[in-house]
Amino acid sequence: MSVRFDVRIRQSWFRTDIEFLPTENSTLSGSKTLSVELSKTDNGAKSVTLAYEARNKRNNQSKLAITDEHGYLGTAKLT
């Protein structure tokens, strides 16, 4: 399954924050970065692995399933 969304990346000397931005059709209301790891393979491919805490909207056109939580922890690897 593929999902499209915007991401905001903020980086300083000491911290990298990655925030998933909600869209009109998504159930996401926001996210908070817990940890980020930047890596590069021997062949030069770069990736970002992160752990995050996300929150779902309560009222939007994409209703939450009865089994969906209003908040959850997740991980992602962006290449």
- pLDDT of the chain along its 79 residues, tens only? 566 678 888 888 888 888 877 777 666 777 888 898 889 888 888 988 989 888 877 655 555 666 667 788 889 888 8
State the Cα torsion 49-25-9-50 to the nearest 10°. -20
pLDDT of residue 8: 86
Question: How many other C-beta atoms are found inside a 10 Å radius of the C-beta of residue 49?
Answer: 14
pLDDT of residue 51: 93
Q: Is residue 49 part of a domain?
A: yes
Q: Is residue 1 part of a domain?
A: no
pLDDT of residue 2: 61
Q: Is residue 51 part of a domain?
A: yes
pTM exceeds cut of 0.85:
no
Host domain of residue 29: 6-78
What residues form DSSP beta bridges with 33?
Answer: 52
Give how many domains the chain has, as a whole number: 1
CA angle 49, 74, 52 (to 5 degrees): 65
Nearest Cα residue to 55 out of 35, 77, 27: 27
Residue pair 49/35 in contact (Cβ under 8 Å)? The answer is no
pLDDT of residue 65: 62
